Each structure stands twice: as C-alpha cells, then as structure tokens.
Structure 1
C-alpha cells in the first residue's frame, strides 16, 4: 500500500491523529490505534512532539485546544467518537477559526474518520485500512 501511495506523499511527510474523548477532553494519539497503521518507514512520520509521546511509550496524551498547532502534522486525522459530548466537541473544533488556520486543513489534508471503525491496531483493521487509505488520501480506486 505504501508503495502505491508514494505519488501522493512527500518525503518525510508527518501525520497526527486527534480525538475528543471522555466528554470534551482532547487527546493527541501516540502509538496506539490508528497511528500504528499510519506511521511507517514508507508512510507517514510522527511530528517531533508526537515522536516524544511515542518515545515515552504513551499511547496518547491529553492536550488543550491551543496546543493543536504544535502537534499538527502535514496531514491530520481527526477521529469522530461515539460519545455525544465528544462528537459535539469535534464538530465545534471543525467549525473554529483555529481548525481553519491549520496548514493541513488549508491544504485539504485533514480527514474525519470514524473512531469505532479505524482507531484499532489489530490486523483486521489494518487490512481494511489498506483499501480505504488510498481513497481517503485522494487516489482513485
């Protein structure tokens, strides 16, 4: 899959994954769930601050909204949670000036993905992602 996507990716392109959970609490994902499929030697790389989370062996880290620009990669994957309050916080973020100021959003490189379907690191989810990620990133089937 990563070889197939090389025409869409820049060398050392970074990605970050965010999710609201437990109500309005915002988390940046380290190396658990969706990022385990995204971070690959031929794929996306974690940004500097996300790499610190991974190096500390943390699956995720709670952050405040104002820190999103510091953690945002060249591509942003925003997980849409099931919890109604968390879902509302996600929608409010996506309507905010902060969100629209992020380079990934301005460049059309921000993706809203279902947390229940895609925030796992099991083999079945990774296999499904291999078929979906190229379409999500804009590659024709």
Structure 2
C-alpha cells in the first residue's frame, strides 16, 4: 500500500472516529447486543432494525479507541440500506481482510470505506478493535432472525 493511500485511509478512520455515524441507541429495533473486547476494554452496545429483509438501521453506543469507534461508524454507513444477504457479503469480505494480516487484497467495491481498515489488519493487537462492532452486528442480526432470542 502506498504512503499516499495509507494516509487517505488514516483520514477516513479519523473522520469516522469524530463523526460517529449511527451513534446513539434508537428505536425501533429487533435485537440489542453488548460486546466487549477484553484485551483493551473497548465496548459496544448495538441495536439492529430489519425491515423486510433490509438493514433499516444500526445504532450503537461505543466506548473505546478511534479504530473501534470509527469501525462502528463505517460499518453503519456501509451496511444500512442493504439487503441482509448483501450485508452478509460485506461482513464476510471485511472479516477476510481483517484476518488476512495485511496480505489479503480486499474488494474495494464491496467494502467501500471499510477498506480503510486494511492497514489495521497488519496490527494484530488492533484487529479485535476493528472487528468489535462487526461481530456485534452479526450477533444482533442472528438474534433478530430468531424469534426465540431475547433482547
């Protein structure tokens, strides 16, 4: 990755850490989850609202580092409005990138701004920070799809 591209990605992460799109818990929602990164103490409480098979809203309260909070913001921007199946494809691409330790070449068309975390994948101590909200989203969608699960 070029230094110029790396700088652009850092700007995206810093911008989202400040703006925090989707921040603040909202109603309606079908599932709410709370995830913690025990390594560093980052936390996220996340709500997902599905409407007719579409991710209608993701809202969250997050405490943590800029990578963790920016990742929640980017995830919200990228996933809201997509069909759940399409959002799953984005999630899988993000997971592959983060688990690729910097060697995985992500599909920028699928990830959009989430590709900014490609450099984070090289920092093993920060991967869990970037994944926290995405894992919470996956958990919430699973719970929302199963009427036996509780909030």
TM-score by length of 1: 0.30
- Structure having the larger proportion of residues in helix: 2
